[in-house]
Chain A
Amino acid sequence: MKALMFGWEFPPHILGGLGTASYGLTKGMHNNGDMEITFVIPKPWGDEEKGFANIVGANCTPVAWRNVDYEYVRSRIGKYMDPELYFRLRDHIYADFNYMKLNDLGCIEFSGRYPDNILEEINNYSIVAGVIARTIPCDIIHSHDWLTYPAGIHAKNVTGKPLVIHVHATDFDRSRGNVNPTVFAIEKDGMENADHIITVSNLTRRTVIEKYGIDPSKVTTVHNAVIPLDDELLNLPRHDKKEKVITFLGRITMQKGPEYFVEAAAKVLQKSKNVRFVMAGNGDMMDAMIKLVAKRGIADKFHFPGFLRGKEVYEMLADSDVYVMPSVSEPFGISPLEAMEMGVPSIISKQSGCAEILDNVIKTDYWDIDAMADAMHALVSYPALHDTLRDKGIEEIHGITWEKAGKKVIDIYKDVIGKQGNN
């Protein structure tokens, strides 16, 4: 089966969970066999892992004819994709886009990030999608998150193939209710035009059904999984320390519920002195949190190391005894799975999607500071609980694979294609 996927991020150059999930899923699907996946991203960097998917860069796809020779193309984009493909794509330009700002290859430039003119970039991406859809044959189209929905719809209109969209998050999660009407419109349009919708949790599925008014029968949950970590990360040194460390890791924004973490920490510190708290990351609530920590009088035991990148994240986890994710609304939340794989027992809010599939964690309501504090205290005071959750957690994570998730997506593909065949 041939799938044409539209994504926005792809490891190693990622800004959030979307890239990791897209990568894991694609790889998992590939490992199920008999899948030929073309993955389109705005801007490849050349160091993406290939082999399981054919990566096409939107910024390497011509939308206007330029008379260039093979050698030149190879020197320009050879490290991102096969020059042959450039010429095949060039044969499928469907309109004159010379009025746009193009480079010498007739391609549109993309930032591949989340710039201020993101709406323009989304639109350009969908123009490029038209060329790609005309060039590369596919049986199904798959769009990851709202940025790529317009591209998916365009490709669907061009090819007549069914469209599956993958909802990794909705604007309701990001804004805690204050949705941006433009984003909402793009999301809703994508959902309505999709033949099937995949959500990363039942929580998100409910949002899609209730807030966007989508027919429940075309929304299916496929929970995310976790990519096994490298041994290098798993074996990071764990320092012997006298004090226990309880960690919060993530953007310090309203969505992640950092204030509940601070309040719970204050409760724990009233009783046990042998604990330190770390809030790693940055965000618009960071200053407020620093103030709150000072107000509660726990600044001597509470640390803000700032934004951690790459390996630093895992070094932090290796030195943590407890990981806490008190998110107010979390479509899935992959970080507790990584913490668990690192052998760090986790406390997560019941309002996060991953709570639906995890058994060996402690789940509390994000607002229930008492319960959260109690769980923190129990994990640092009762070694039996800590060790059980650590060991069972690792075991559980090893059972949550992208292959299983990939299998579910493939089944949805078959179902959707079958339905279309019948019509």
Chain B
Amino acid sequence: MARIPSTSRRALLFGTAAVSAGALMTACTSNEPTNQEQAADNAPVADDKPGKAVTIGFAGPQADHGWLNAINDNAKSRAKKYSDVTLEITEGSNDIAQQIGQIQTLINKKVDVLVILPADGKALTQVGLQAMRAGIPVVNLDRVFASPQAYRCWIGGDNYGMGLNAGHYIGERLKDMPNAKVVELAGLDNLELTRQRTKGFDDALKNYPNIKKVARQAAEFTVESGQAKMAQLLQAQSQFDALWNHDDDQGVGALRAIDQAGRDDFLMVGGAGAKSAMDAIKADNSVLKATVLYPPTMAASAIDLARGLGQGKGVGGLAEFEIPSSLTLYSAVVTKDNVDQYLPTGFS
């Protein structure tokens, strides 16, 4: 439970910083010429120009889910962009022992920097420490290690912030409606991140006394479970005004259930940022009006950070000499108004 306060504090501390970082990342991924001019003049800043050659080791879990697959793709295509970066990517694995072995192999190969998305943050802390002691800086991606000593820099999404932003978005849309009812379709309940998302959502709704959360069911991040649980929710709640669904993958099933039940009397907000969800938002022909990002572009950013670490440079857009030790990404709300900007980052 120690993570929740720290995450929320992080969310507050980095409130403003994250906004600008988020903007920066967005700028990067949309492949516009970056605004390097704005960077502090005296700090060496990582840029697109070839520099010292860097070998980056990348270890992630098995890509059995659209989002994780997008993580791998983002990392690979980002690395390809730089002629000075060699990416050593391991076969993804959900087996903790196997992943530890893979990372140890990368350490033995003496890669310059490691980017690790652990299958389980707590369980892989030791191998993170090993790498750091061996003098290899570690960029810890998303699932955080148990000790800050196990990584040089952490970059990841904000589960609490997702819930918070989804809640705020729904709150603003329904704030003039008396006795508004909200329903939540959560993800896999065994995971801490699901509970963080729900907590953020609940905290945001507290700001709107006219809104009441009337039901919550947990699906399993799969289309099939999304369909099944949503069908039950629709049967249980004959009328409600808004729905937050934690995950766009299970959202495919949820939308299917909504379609089958012939319901369109509420607004739906998704989560994570799948391409199918963004397409639906853009088309504006379903109940899905927005989705809260948990951007897989963080993997591309992690490659940038790793390259910066390898070349001893800081991040553009900040006055700092060093790369920050922690970067929490902003869970932007994607609506019809800004969907075009995010569409390229949508994953399938």
Same complex for A and B? Answer no
Residues of A within 8 A of B (CB): none
